[in-house]
Structure 1
Amino acid sequence: MASSERVVGAADNVDMRGESELEPYETDTDERRVVSAYCCTCEETATLLLEVGDDSPWEHDEKHASHVVEYWREA
């Protein structure tokens, strides 16, 4: 059954009902982390040096909500 709610900017075939996986910057917030970020839209990159308790996304991701950003944790 289709939902009567719509998300602005989302494609019709995207199911937004389920929980999504946590991004690497949201996990292990009790330790220091090095997370790399890559914007697939404008090809900008960054290395995030996250301190204990920091679970904020890359500033570029917050400013450009329509961009697709990939995060991965450095080993």
Structure 2
Amino acid sequence: MASSEHVGGAADNVDMSGPSDPEPYELDVDERRVVSAYCCTCEATTTMLMEVGDDSPWEHDASNASHQVEYWREA
């Protein structure tokens, strides 16, 4: 027999903010660029020299999913 429970809404841990803007390393992949990154969690920093076609995040960000990392493009 079917359950009589009714589920409404979303779970507390679901991100309902919608799509976010692309990160600076994902933009202008058809040219070389310099992107800096800062980990707000452990205060590590790096400067990435991005080659044409490269749209990969910082290795630290990819391997530490719980860390908050900020990216910005150098002029």
Range class of TM-score, shorter chain: 0.7 to 0.9
Map of 1:3 onto structure 2: 10
Q: Which portions of structure 1, spanning 4 or more consecutive aligned residues, are displaced by more than 3 angstroms?
A: none
> Would you say 1:38 and 2:38 are equivalent positions?
yes
TM-score normalised per structure 2: 0.82
Distance in 1 (alpha carbons) for counterparts of 2:72 and 2:57: 12
Distance in 2 (alpha carbons) for counterparts of 1:15 and 1:61: 22
Runs (5+) with no aligned partner, structure 2: 1-7
Runs (5+) with no aligned partner, structure 1: none
Map of 1:52 onto structure 2: 52
Deviation at 1:3, TM superposition (A): 2.2
Over alpha carbons, which structure has the higher Rg?
2
Q: What is the alpha-carbon root mean square deviation over aligned residues? A: 1.8
TM-score normalised per structure 1: 0.82
Map of 2:5 onto structure 1: none
Distance in 2 (alpha carbons) for counterparts of 1:54 and 1:46: 16
- CA deviations on 1:19-62 (whole Å, 9 max, x unpaired) are 11000000000000100000000000000000000000000001
